[in-house]
Amino acid sequence: MSLTRNQIRLLIGAVIAVLSLVVQPRMSAFAQELFAEAAILAIFALSLDILARSGLVSFGHAGFLGLGAYAFGGLTVLQNWPAGAAVFVAIAIGIVVGLIVGIFAVRTSGAFFIMVTLAMAEMFYSWVFRSPIFNGADGMGGVPRLDIKSLTGLDLNNPVSFATFCIVMCILAWIVVEFIAITPFGRTLDAIRQNPNRISALGGRVFSYRLAAFALSGAIGAFAGVMKVQHTNFLSPDLASWIISGDVLIIAVIGGMGTFVGGIIGAGLLVYLKEILSSNFGHWYLFLGGIFIFVALVLPRGIVGTFLDWTDGRRASKSAPAATESET
């Protein structure tokens, strides 16, 4: 048996999906809250990773999370919109803002892209922090969850149902990004990451592809925000703070940038470690930081990335000359 790199990646994702769906309902209500939190964070990490496909690493991704959360919260609480419609409008706002911000941001790359995205997210943060509409720094409660009882029989105000819903949404988001990655568009993003100049020379408009990736990333990021604010029922400027942008970046890097499933594992790990560390230590972020530095040193390409490299190595030693699978 010799699975390709891609097949192993998909297998890991499928195993996590099935395990989560089976195990989660059998656990305590508290653990179910953690499952929901991890699944939402995983969706957020996926939105960062699809952008990273094109070679852009954002340090302002909490902007999209906050945007989705505030759009959903604002529409449902302040405008009394039905939650279902608010979900779609929040995602649409994520796309539109992604396009507008992207027009400026994706002209840059590397450290400049990091600075531009960070600045944009901080602008949003300072706006909602002071905005009287959203009750500023104090935030705003009473954000409802989706009502899908008549459709599916799940009452989302139930921890077990909500966690299941979050896991299913995460699986859907994962399928979406995995599918896009194998389309010509996704392949082009991957090629842009490897060599943007050659794409230009071959007639590909790097700016347009990256802009589209940024908008897609904005849509998924906003969706993660919609889920997040349904989970906590509470709007807070902290959703858009740079600390959240840092968290999701750490998650993606620790899990393995560009592997998608790595972000999901990273999200689970962060939520779990946060929980056990914060209940035992006061300065738990210090310990978390130490653990992540250790992982980054030992596994430079992240957990999943390093594991896949290791399986590559084994395959190569078994069958020389090593041939890669064709992804055409």
Partner 1 sequence: MTTLETRKLCKSFGSLAVTQDVTLTFASGKRYAIIGPNGAGKTTFFNLLAGNLRADSGHILLDGRDISSLDVTSRAHIGIARSFQRNNLFPELSVLDNIAMACALQQGIAPSFWKPMKSYTGLRNDALAVARQVGLEDDAQIAVRQLSYGSQRQLEVALALACKPKVLLLDEPTSGMSPQETARMDHLIKNLPRDITTIVIEHDMDIVLEFADEIVVLDYGRVLEQGTPAQIKASSIVRQRYLGEEGQAVGSRAP
Q: Which residues bind partner 1 (CB under 8 A)?
A: 179-180, 182-188, 190-191, 194-195, 197-206, 208-209, 212, 321-328
Nearest residue (CB) to partner 1, 6 versus 135: 6
Cα–Cα nearest to 87, from 43, 127, 120, 52: 43
Read off the tokens for 259: 């592997």
Amino acid at 83: A
Read off the tokens for 54: 């094109």
Residue 13's CB is within 10 A of a number of other CB atoms, namely 21
Cα–Cα nearest to 248, from 277, 221, 227: 221
Query: Residue 320 CB, nearest distance to partner 1 (Å)?
Result: 10
Query: Residue 261 CB, nearest distance to partner 1 (Å)?
Result: 18
| Residue pointed to by tokens 């819903």 | 165
Nearest residue (CB) to partner 1, 79 versus 326: 326
Nearest residue (CB) to partner 1, 28 versus 194: 194
Nearest residue (CB) to partner 1, 126 versus 200: 200
How far lies 233's CA from each of 37, 49, 71, 219, 317, in Å?
13, 27, 13, 21, 53
**Per-residue DSSP letter, 79:** S
Nearest residue (CB) to partner 1, 210 versus 228: 210
Nearest residue (CB) to partner 1, 46 versus 77: 46
Query: Residue 313 CB, nearest distance to partner 1 (Å)?
Result: 13
Residue 22's CB is within 10 A of a number of other CB atoms, namely 9
- Whether 188 and 200 have beta carbons less than 8 Å apart is answered as no
Q: How far apart are CA 265 and CA 65, in angstroms?
A: 19
Read off the tokens for 183: 């389309």
Nearest residue (CB) to partner 1, 25 versus 204: 204
H or E element that contains 242? helix 242-255
Query: Residue 18 CB, nearest distance to partner 1 (Å)?
Result: 23
What sign does the CA torsion over 115, 116, 122, 123 have? Answer: positive
Q: How far apart are CA 281 and CA 196, in angstroms?
A: 46
Query: Residue 326 CB, nearest distance to partner 1 (Å)?
Result: 5
Query: Residue 56 CB, nearest distance to partner 1 (Å)?
Result: 17
Q: Exposure pattern of 264-291 as b/e (b: 16+ CB <10 Å)? A: bbbbbbbbeebbebeeeeeebeebbeee
Nearest residue (CB) to partner 1, 126 versus 324: 324
Query: Residue 4 CB, nearest distance to partner 1 (Å)?
Result: 12
Query: Residue 227 CB, nearest distance to partner 1 (Å)?
Result: 23
